[in-house]
Structure 1
Amino acid sequence: MQRTLLASAMCAALGLAVQSASAADLRLAQQPVPGRYIVVLKEDSARLASEASIANRRHIPEVAQVAQQIAAQSPGRRMRVLQSFNEALRGFVANNLSDDDIVRLLEDPRVDYVEEDGVVRINTTQNNATWGLDRIDQASLPLNGTYVYDTTASNVHAYIIDTGIRASHNDFGGRVSGGYSAINDGNGTHDCQGHGTHVAGTVGSATYGVAKGVRLYPVRVLGCDGSGTNSGVIAGIDWVRTNHSAPAVANMSLGGGASSAVDSAVANLSSAGVTVVVAAGNDSSSACNYSPARAPSAITVGSTTSSDSRSSFSNYGSCLDIFAPGSSILSTSNGSNSATATLSGTSMASPHVAGAAALYLAGNPSASPSQVTNALINAAVSNAVGNPGSGSPNRLLQTGADGGTNPPDPDPDPDPPGDEPCTACAKYSGSLSYSGDYDYQPDGNYYYSSGGTQRGWLRGPSNADFDLELHRWSWWGWTKVAQGISSNSSEDVTYNGSSGYYMWRVVSYSGSGNYDFYLSIP
């Protein structure tokens, strides 16, 4: 049906609305799928249909019952119900609608609104280089060449709503399970495009992932050309809401025009306890014009470059929650079981935040989506993003413990004369018996310190390789914030941070023997 007729249908419905305050409205898509509509029902309509179905002992799912009734009343019975949703929202997808069908739907007291099904696409552009993981564990530039983390989030489930995942990729280590496909092309959940595998790699691959042990689930809603429909996205959300295991995070590195149906589905997924992270979009305009970027219940992510400027393509505005690295991100790809690719886009920024959400959930498995959101926002670095865009919150993702300064040179000044590496410091001694053995210092305990410089010196046997780590208590548990990992047993570590609880860990990478540990606190 031509879209000009939609306006006529809307006018007809508005005319009827004068007589009926409950008349539904018709919502247009920015890029519609011809002849296909998402019909969203009022909650009471679905419930009453379910009760009637049970009374008649037919046990038809509640929304499908209403959809069948509505389709049966179609003039000439041309309307076809393609799919119904019970969880993401109460509604169904239909095609072959005539003008009369649309007007009749808008008049139907069981219908909340009717929305054109719209096209959604991935949010990626091609480029090269790699740096994202290095950036998110420290508060400011320059990069220090390391990514420090204290959990792999192996107890967390991540649902990648995208183009699928190449499950056999070596970097996933067999952690890709099950999943769902809304695309009926014979590929199942396999990624024939590459985007979903790249996104999943940033969330949780062993080499390129933020949460390196997370369980990954492909939810394929975009085809081999990287595009799909709003109804397909809703079908994927519906599956996640019904089948997810907790604690859970869902990443949606996709987007299209504004869609009330998609926004409602995201809200219902969040209300089921799944933290939803979405890409802001690559149009260099307000994210509030796109779905799911504008969904209030999601964490909406803009993209930054390696110099902490907003990426030129990144959307911005009041619908954003946070920025994360998104330009020139290296991750897994679908070309082979060892393939990689470097991509740019808010699609690449979003999974950094999804991975960070998984890290938080690892230590706080009962946290609600709003608690996860608040934790990430509170830990973010303020005022670090250059040219964030009008109305944007200037917050940059931070997975480190406190947003303190970078770990400086591990040995900023030489040891004082004599055998002791420091003056006015406390000395503790211990022994490690085998490779992998470890001790906590001071004396197996932690301590509270005011803000300032924490310094530790390790002196161990010359025929062994002992390492020294500093951990700080944060909102997701003990987090490694600095370390010395040279090839011998002499390590000097310095860390500038805020007040809090700290603990040192001495680890045998290889060998055994006695050691001395020296500690200086502010």
Structure 2
Amino acid sequence: MMTSQMVSFVLIIGAIAITCGAAGLFVTESDQNGVQDPLVSPADETKVALHTYTGEDGIPDTYIVKLRKDVTGQNVADVRDALESELLSSAEGRLTALGRSARVGEVMDFNEVQMVVVEAVKEDIQRLRQKTDMIEAIYQDGVVTTAQICFCPCDCPAEDRPNNKACQTSTNTAGNWGLDRIDQRDAALDGAFNIVGTGSDVNVYILDSGVYAEHEEFLREDGSSRVTYGAKANASWDDNDVMGHGTHLAGIIGGKNVGVAKNANLISVKVLDDFGMGQISGLVSMMYWVWLKVLIYRRKSLLVLSVVSPWNEALNSVVNDLVNFEIMVIAAAGNGNVPTRYVSPASAAQAVAVAASDIGDTRAIFSNYGEEIFLWAPGDMIKSSSPGSPNEYTVRSGTSMASAFVAGAAAAYMSSLDYNPTPQQVKTYLHEQASENVITDSPTEFNCRTELICLRPNFCDAQTVCESVTTTAKFLYVGCSQDEPKKSKKSKKSKKGKKTKKSKKGKNSK
């Protein structure tokens, strides 16, 4: 037994670490021998914080510069010109030697956040760090990927239906078990799908690999498509979807057979290449494009981000700003089997983060979890549309698929209203409708490691130490009946906990 008089030391002799793909670590420039919490900023009175990656997730010589909040109006243009002048005066030669040109992009002026993408080598970024009167922080550009694994009963009384709207029913779930599951409280599938709302006046912006617009799931009776091509992060990319991820999502969101909101307006915004890879800077620029469109047209809109990167404060701040501007953002939790706090954009405080379940109403083995999760939805072995031909379908798994179900549910609900609801109003509806106590097998501990407590030489005791984590058990529900019990028949499981430490509030990388 250890007392206050005893002298001891702790040696960590083992650890459990789970990573996904080639995810790097998001670190600060002052890191030396390990990973520093990215919230511990190295900024001081003479320089702003610089956040960089280890591993392969950092994009060389490309950075996102976040301007100070007090830089507004004409000052924004002046700051951009000043940054360009600073970089071009010194960077041109160094970048030319690398076969590239120095570049300062246009300022993306969101509601509360202003950002600009710059291309410059590290030496010049160090000079920009001294612009403390203009810049809040600088972030190295990073990689984003898909969040997929590689490969109401309509006879309920009218007064019980939301807004007294007609309940749409279909006996064809097209082999999509997830569609069948989300309209009932319990797991016994009945082969039918019931929902209020079709998404007919809602714009769903799908920021992904593109969408195959000619698929039968998206065609109207007159042969026209409900898919519209928006912008692309890279102008050289083709509008079409080659790798299929975006088309699969679009089918779940708004396909007329396999989809939730069967008449939603689907807008493809391409942020991933044909291999499912993209850049955070490109994603942010396309989010800015969406922000401008919603600002201009003021239509019912929501944004779907079924992509994932290691935790990134710049990306999260844009998500939060979009929601504060009243654009709903639905994000996939990620497939690393780790707490969602480690990834973006799902870890953003204002994002609707969605985790994936399987057909047995248990957590999909790959799904992330944690306090950030808003809802669970089907995400394992989901059938939906695929590019190549108008009648091609594939089965895919991932939290991407789960987030698409929630996006479809949100669009359907929004279309049932005669006004444009705020993101918080939609979240409240989804939360109140959700079935309780369904997904109860999420991990309660993570970052478990063995620590060797030594009171004196040759007198040591091994102890397992973990951090604790909690996750909602709420599951997406879109059925028409309002008087069904919200609790699943499934009882909540209990687990014996190991000795734990309180979970850290700071964000870390995967």
Same fold (TM over 0.5): yes
Q: CA offset at residue 272 of structure 1?
A: 2.5
Give, in whole Å, the separation in 1 of the partners of 2:242 and 2:41: 48
Q: Is the 8 A contact 1:302 1:314 kept in 2?
A: yes
Gaps of 5+ in 1: 51-60, 407-522
Q: Which amino acid aligns with 1:149?
A: I
- 2:75 corresponds, among 49, 71, 88, to 49
Tell me how far apart the structure 1 counterparts of residues 390 and 104 of structure 2 sit (CA, whole Å): 36
1:11-26 alignment, distance < 5 Å: 18-20=44-46, 23-26=47-50
For 2:217 and 2:277, locate their aligned partners in 1 and report how far apart those are by CA, in whole Å.
26
Asked whether the 8 Å contact 1:275–1:369 carries over to 2, the reply is: yes
Q: Alpha-carbon deviation of 1:43?
A: 2.8
Listed one character per residue, the Cα deviations across residues 353-402 of structure 1 (whole Å, up to 9, x for unaligned) are 00111112112342111111111111111111131333111110001243
SS in 2 for 1:262: helix
1:439-498 Cα distance to aligned partner (Å, 9 max, x none): xxxxxxxxxxxxxxxxxxxxxxxxxxxxxxxxxxxxxxxxxxxxxxxxxxxxxxxxxxxx
Specify the alignment match of 1:457 in structure 2. Answer: none
1:392 aligned residue:
471
Of the candidates 153, 156, 161, which is equivalent to residue 207 of structure 2? Answer: 161
Report the Cα distance in structure 1 between the residues aligned to 2:376 and 2:31, rounded to whole angstroms: 42
Q: Which of 128, 143, 147 matches 1:119?
A: 143
- 8 Å contact 1:138–1:404 — kept in the other structure? no
Partner of 2:409: 356
DSSP-derived class of the 2:274 partner: coil
CA distance in structure 1 between the aligned counterparts of 2:92 and 2:203, rounded to whole angstroms: 47
- Pairwise mapping of residues 62-81 of structure 1 onto structure 2 (< 5 A)? 64-74=80-90, 78=94, 80-81=102-103
Q: Residue 506 of structure 2 aligns with which residue?
A: none
Q: Cα distance, 1:17 vs. partner?
A: 5.2
Question: Among 404, 411, 426, which residue is 1:372 paired with?
Answer: 426
Question: Root-mean-square deviation (CA), in Å?
Answer: 2.8
What is the count of residue pairs matched by the alignment?
388
Q: Would you say 1:262 and 2:315 are equivalent positions?
A: yes
Work out the percentage of aligned pairs sharing the same amino acid.
31
Cα distance in 2 between the residues matched to 1:82 and 1:76: 12
Give the 3 Å change call, closer, same or farther, for CA 208–108 of structure 1 in structure 2: same
After superposition, residues 470-481 of structure 1 pair within 5 angstroms as: none
The structural deviation recorded for 1:192 is 1.5
State whether residues 46 and 62 of structure 1, in contact with CA within 8 Å, keep that contact through their aligned partners in structure 2: no
1:135 and 2:181 correspond: yes
Shift of 1:293: 1.1
Name which of 198, 207, 219 aligns with 1:152: 198
Per-residue displacement from partner, 1:167-218 (whole Å, max 9, x unpaired)? 121211111123110023341x321210000001111011111100000100
Task: Give the drift of 1:139.
Answer: 0.8
Q: Compute the displacement of 1:130 (Å).
A: 3.1
CA-to-aligned-CA distance 1:206-238 (integer Å, 9 cap, x gap): 111110000010010000000101001101101
Q: 1: CA distance between counterparts of 2:324 and 2:180?
A: 33
Q: TM-score, normalised by structure 1?
A: 0.69
Provide the secondary structure at the position in 2 that maps to 1:148. strand
Which aligned pairs between 1:263-342 and structure 2 lie closer than 5 A? 263-342=316-395
From 231, 235, 240, the equivalent of 1:180 is: 231
Structure 2, unmatched stretches of 5+, are 1-25, 96-101, 152-173, 220-224, 445-469, 487-510
Q: In 2, distance between residues paired with 1:356 and 1:4?
A: 37
Find the residue that maps to 1:166 and give its secondary structure.
coil
Contact 1:322-1:397 within 8 A present in 2 as well: yes
- Highest RCO, 1 vs 2 (Cα 8 Å, sep ≥ 6): 2
After TM superposition, give the deviation of residue 28 of structure 1 in Å.
2.2
1:477-516 matches, cutoff 5 A = none
> Alpha carbons of 1:222 and 1:330: their partners in 2 closer, same or farther (altered >3 Å)?
same
So what's the TM-score if we normalise by structure 2? Answer: 0.71
